[in-house]
Amino acid sequence: MNLRLFGADGFFAQSSFVVFGYREYRYFWIAAAFSNIGMWALIYGRLWLMHSLTDSPLLVGLTNTATLAPVLVLSVWGGALADRVNRLKLLQFTRFLFAGLAFLTGVLIVMDVIAPWHVIAISVVTGILLSFDIPSRSAMMPSLLPREHLAGGIAMYSFVFGGAAVIGPAFFGSLVALWGIEGIFFIIGAAYILTVVFLLVMNPAYHVQTPKTSNIAHGVVEGLKYVLGYRALLILILLGIVMGMFGTSFEALLPAFADDVLTGGVTTYSRILLAEGIGGICATLTIALLGTRVRPSYNVFVGVIGFGITLAALGLVSTVVMAMILLACLGGLRVVFGTMNTTMMQTLSEDQYRGRVMSLHQLTWGSTAIGSLMMGALAEGIGVSLTIGICGIIVVLFASSVAIWMFRNGYVNSRSVSVEE
């Protein structure tokens, strides 16, 4: 069979790489490359820092909670603000402050005055900024690309995240050994400065919003009413909340998992994170190459159910090799779920509500705050492996139940859920 790869109807013409032909998206993507390296290192660097300071899974979980709890509480207000102000300028402001927090952490370590409460406090401020950063960033995407390339654009954005998750672990152990943990935070700060530079090149005129309400509180209420009246959006948000609380929050246990279960240290921690990042990149490339042929309404369930099964299996292993294989699968399945879920949320929501819808979508992040604290406390009582296994089973049972109900009632094939029509 003669497969056409190029031309208007060729394979690559239908792939996601076509999105780089759009100038605004191109600069947004480059900025994302630096910011995701920064965010990856900021989150995991702080987790390892707290582990080094306290050797307590509970306090490591609390660090994650301190970052994500503000997202749970404030993101709806961040979304309302994103629908009222210039989203690009808001993003420039938050990214500049992220750089300042990273430099501050590095300075505290160099001065040898860093304490657990510093880590928690900086994590809280980071979470507050994320509450305004994430809705703006997420709501911007449909303004950068045509509807038919939105899934591809999100996939390529996920590629940046996955790439950062590979680059970070690959050099994490070496950088810590060479420059100390403080060196990681200075690199984070520099990455965020570069992010701001590329965001400044973008055209702010494309991201001006015209408020439909007289005050921000009324805007919040309107956004909630919009989502509550849209069953498909509610289902997607609920899936994300369960995934965050019982699924992705397992990462708060990875420092203890590397140390106690795999009997390694920072090198082992770096290796399993590297495996997770490689899995994410492989999944992202697959989605990008498939482009418009991807069916989000089906693959969102492939991602979440597969993730739960793999997470349960991770609770049974005690060797580095098996852990790396399963972490690679988890990284890939996480990207599949995240990309499909986000694509559907952004496509289904109207532009005037998109900031508020995506802020509610960030309840996924907020629920991770609860899950991280819960997993940390549970791990101190019954052990890391058993905690991971139980949470994986919960994800499988819930997601499978939702999938069966949706298929039986025809929601997956309806216009209310499918983004392909």
Residue 184 CA to residue 321 CA, distance in Å, equals 26
Structure pTM? 0.68
Residue 394: what pLDDT?
95
209: pLDDT strictly greater than 60: no
1: pLDDT strictly greater than 60: no
97: pLDDT strictly greater than 90: yes
Q: What angle do CA 153, 158, 159 make, to 5 degrees?
A: 95
Residue 334 CA to residue 65 CA, distance in Å, equals 20
> If you average pLDDT over each of 76-80, 239-243, 267-271, 347-351, which comes out highest?
239-243
413: pLDDT strictly greater than 60: no
5: pLDDT strictly greater than 50: no
Burial of 14 (0-12, 13-18, 19+ CB in 10 A): middle
Q: Quickly state the pLDDT bin for 213 (edges 50, 70, 90).
A: low
| pLDDT digit string, tens, across residues 52-77 | 888 887 888 788 778 877 877 787 78
Q: Quickly state the pLDDT bin for 125 (edges 50, 70, 90).
A: very high
Residue 311: what pLDDT?
96
Residue 344: what pLDDT?
79
Q: Which two tokens stand for residue 32?
A: 């994302």
| pLDDT digit string, tens, across residues 291-323 | 666 677 778 888 999 999 999 999 999 899 999
Residue 94: what pLDDT?
92
Burial of 2 (0-12, 13-18, 19+ CB in 10 A): exposed
For the segment 206-228, the average pLDDT, to the nearest whole number, is 67
183: pLDDT strictly greater than 70: yes
Q: Is the dihedral of CA 216, 24, 300, 61 positive or negative?
A: negative
Q: Quickly state the pLDDT bin for 414 (edges 50, 70, 90).
A: very low
Residue 203: what pLDDT?
80
Q: Mean pLDDT over all residues of the chain? A: 80
2: pLDDT strictly greater than 60: no
Residue 412: what pLDDT?
58
For the segment 279-286, the average pLDDT, to the nearest whole number, is 81
Parse the chain into domains and list their residue ranges: 16-408
First-to-last CA distance in the chain?
29
Residue 313: what pLDDT?
96
For the segment 350-363, the average pLDDT, to the nearest whole number, is 72
In the chain, the percentage of residues whose pLDDT exceeds 90 is 21
For the segment 358-379, the average pLDDT, to the nearest whole number, is 78
Residue 54 CA to residue 57 CA, distance in Å, equals 9
| pLDDT digit string, tens, across residues 8-42 | 454 445 556 777 888 888 898 888 888 877 776 77
Amino acid at 305: I
366: pLDDT strictly greater than 80: no
Q: Which of 192-196, 232-236, 318-322 has the lowest mean pLDDT?
A: 232-236
Residue 405: what pLDDT?
78
DSSP annotation of 316 reads T
For the segment 383-398, the average pLDDT, to the nearest whole number, is 94
Residue 23: what pLDDT?
85
Residue 291: what pLDDT?
62
Tell the CATH superfamily of the 16-408 domain. MFS general substrate transporter like domains (1.20.1250.20)
| pLDDT digit string, tens, across residues 141-170 | 777 887 777 767 776 776 676 666 566 655
For the segment 269-284, the average pLDDT, to the nearest whole number, is 83
Residue 206: what pLDDT?
64
Residue 49 CA to residue 181 CA, distance in Å, equals 7
421: pLDDT strictly greater than 70: no
